[in-house]
Structure 1
Amino acid sequence: MWYSVLPFCYRISFQNPGCLSTNGLVGALLFFYSLLLGFCASDSAWNLWWSYEGISGPDFWGVANQDFAMCKKGKQQSPINIDPSRLLYDPNLKHLHINYTDAKGVLINTGRDITIEMQNLGYNHINISLGPLSYQYRLSKIKFHFGNMDKIGSEHTINGKPFPAEMHLLAYNSDLYPNSSYALKGVKGYTIIAVFIELGKELNKPFHLISKELKALRYKEQTAMLHHLDLGRLLPKTEHYMTYEGSFTQPGCQETVTWIILNKPIKIAKEQLSALRVLYDGRENDPNLALEVNSRPVMPLNHRVVRTNINFRRRVGIRSHVLKGL
């Protein structure tokens, strides 16, 4: 197949740089050559070809595939840096409501991140409403973003500084759309709850249900079943958040997301974070590279407003929990 050249070139340029010119010119030529070949290729092939670095990284997401054009031309892209001095207190923002229920899902190494595909059937769904939302949203996935060292990993940043990891709860608008696929490109299609993850001294017991299964997900497409996932215990105890209108942080970067960023992080032990860093982005017979950096760089705010239900005059919230010590 024509597109087999792409992963081949990727392995040459990043796993064995000595095979190519050191000035990067050859890599650029390979990239544009692959674009030329792409005119004769199927969209499905391009949809498989993106990563977090090099010629298939975020800088090229909106170039290689026109289905990803929003990644480059969009004006409401995510993630963003949050400047606390520019937060707008909105007294009309309500408390977020999540109807916690006994959840189960499939834990997957997608080759780009670690994802939990929710498997709740019938009426046993986790629904999210109120807060900044005008509709009810149904949880469909949970994703984890992390780095190869403690100083990087989260996608959103506070005052320019990241956390070691970030958890995303993706929920689609079940009032307007029949399923998550229809909601993907629809107005008010998704909400994503972002939770920062920082290092703690003790084992996080709710997170342990996830981290103990990671050894079964060493390679791409490997899975493990999760039972009795307790989001009520996993999420931080807080009623405060920040919210803005943005996009998905992975291609095609659709600008259909209401982001809700909780003001408190959760803490996990060093060994729990390390368990994420020993996974691979390839299959067992071709493990390729370690799956250790899967965060999109922050995008311009572009005159968007980030609102919060934190009343700073009462000295409650983000400054004492998220910003302290950063």
Structure 2
Amino acid sequence: MIKKIGFLSFGHWSHQQAYNAQTASDTLLQSIDLAVAAEEIGLDGAYFRVHHFASQLASPFPLLAAIGAKTSKIEIGTGVIDMRYENPLYMVEDAGAADLISEGRLQLGVSRGSPEQVIDGWRYFGYEPAEGETDADMGRRKALEFLERLKGKGFAQPNPNPMFPNPPGLLRLEPHSEGLRERIWWGAASNATAVWAAENGMNLQSSTLKYDEGGKPFHVQQAEQIRQYKDAWKKAGYQREPRVSVSRSIFALVNDQDRYYFGQEANRRDKIGNIERGKQAIFGRSYAAEPDQLIKELAQDEAIQEADTLLLTIPNTLGVDYNVHVLSSILDHVAPGLGWR
């Protein structure tokens, strides 16, 4: 199955001697350079994680717009924006502007969020769940409002004495980017939220962890989640085909530097842990091997087979050149053997 292949960067930086990304400026500028280089080698997507209160990428739209201005083909996205922290209307404006700058290449992953660096960090941003809501409910409510406003329908009563003439009728948010509504993805950690995403017309992003819902290997549980999502999409009656991405840490060991960095990742197994109180999660394994062995192992990953898009998590702190090497190794030595290219 031909697949779109992108990278997913968490955008770390740290004042460690071995790191090429030691400051926020390093990470932002290197992210732009990596996206440009990824387009040049034929990669399909440049995606970025969003974390608040951490030495990682946070506000995504300036970065996405900058990449959009310096590239012409590669998809640009997030995986994922925590909607608990967002003003949905302001986000519509930011997303519309970034999408227009990139000429329709934005692929925005959003979610209700995950445990963060501080307790209830969204409260510092001025947001509180409504009465009877959990913070997860608040995130999903904001996501639905974001989706509704992306449609471009007027909803705001115009001022009878505006500074500039208004078009007739209710006003919508500007700038509006036609088609962006269909390029919103939901990051689902459970089968139920994957089904919810399908019912609400969002593409599906499934990461390297999910709630443990049956005790089976991670890739099997994730494949079941994807199949439930696809079934729900069909039942909802949408005419377009949905897209599904999965994230993986995959390293082809083709030289001594690769073996030094990632040789210890070989033969890793799924892990069980907790990401929220009382909820057990399963974390997918990393893949690291010589290309021929990697092809054999990845061919057994059921979730990758179900997805049309694969996001490769990268060690951004090792610098642009090494990450281009990591991505090129997958494109050149692994993807053809699996029929992805």
More helix by share: 2
TM-score, reference length from structure 1: 0.28
**TM-score scaled by structure 2?**
0.27
